[in-house]
A = this chain, B = another copy of it.
Amino acid sequence: MATIIDKKQKRRCIALSCMKLITSCCIKDLTISQLAKEANVGKGTIYEYFMDKEDIVLELTQALYEEYKQITNKKMSCLQNAKEKIYYSFNSLYESEFSMHRKILNIFMGICHYRDNISYKRFKKRLYKERLILFTSLVEKGVEEKILKEDTKNLAKILLNSFSSFFVIFLFYNNTKKITKEINRFLDYVVR
């Protein structure tokens, strides 16, 4: 039992050690040797804990996603009304403290375009599900507070689509101010 926990911890620890390297280089050009050196472990050790390069990125994405969730949930619970929560749930990702998280998400999405294995799919589904739950609850609250007129289910999905859309657009602009503007324009249209 203890060793399994250790194994998970070490996996995460190695992945986090590689964060800087992964976000600063093109993932395509990174080698296992470089990653092992960055994490201060032997090449063989990498193979103890990861299938390949993409597996490290997955672990790193999960780590940062969980951190993002923890921080934003905390802040969200301090916000008073549904409107503020909805705006925050869209905008928080583009705050400066999450620049690393955005970078990793970009790299993760890039890998998704060519990689389609189980662990990747599973994490994508989890991301989708958890976001949908969040937006569903926010829409419910919004309808209660009468800032949203829509029936619950559809609007939550539209919000989810738009949320991911904005991230894609962000990768195009690569400008957080611009994307924040676009987001608020959209939310002003949807929310009363």
Give the distance in Å from the alpha carbon of A189 to the alpha carbon of B156 in the complex: 13
Smallest CB-CB separation from A109: which chain B residue? B113
Give the distance in Å from the alpha carbon of A111 to the alpha carbon of B28 in the complex: 10
Give the distance in Å from the alpha carbon of A189 to the alpha carbon of B114 in the complex: 33
Q: Are B161 and A164 in contact (CB under 8 A)?
A: no
Asked if A74 is at the interface of the complex by the 8 Å CB criterion, the answer is no
Q: How many copies does the complex hold?
A: 4
Q: In the assembled complex, how far is the CB of residue A158 from the closest CB belonging to chain B, in whole angstroms? A: 6
Give the distance in Å from the alpha carbon of A113 to the alpha carbon of B104 in the complex: 11
Q: In the assembled complex, how far is the CB of residue A157 from the closest CB belonging to chain B, in whole angstroms? A: 7
Per-position 1/0 for A130-170, Cβ under 8 A of B: 00000000000000000000100010011001101110110
Q: Are A27 and B114 in contact (CB under 8 A)?
A: yes
Give the distance in Å from the alpha carbon of A158 to the alpha carbon of B183 in the complex: 9
Q: Are A185 and B154 in contact (CB under 8 A)?
A: yes
Output the residue of A114, A154, A169 with the most chain B CB within 10 A.
Answer: A114
Asked if A110 is at the interface of the complex by the 8 Å CB criterion, the answer is yes
Asked if A126 is at the interface of the complex by the 8 Å CB criterion, the answer is no
* Contacting residues, chain B, for A41 (C-beta < 8 A): none
Given A26-B115, A158-B186, A168-B168, 7 additional A-B pairs, CB 8 A: A107-B113, A128-B172, A154-B189, A157-B182, A161-B169, A161-B186, A164-B168
19 CB < 8 A contacts A-B: A26-B114, A27-B114, A106-B113, A107-B113, A109-B113, A110-B114, A111-B113, A112-B171, A113-B113, A150-B189, A157-B182, A158-B185, A158-B189, A161-B165, A161-B166, A161-B169, A161-B182, A165-B165, A165-B166
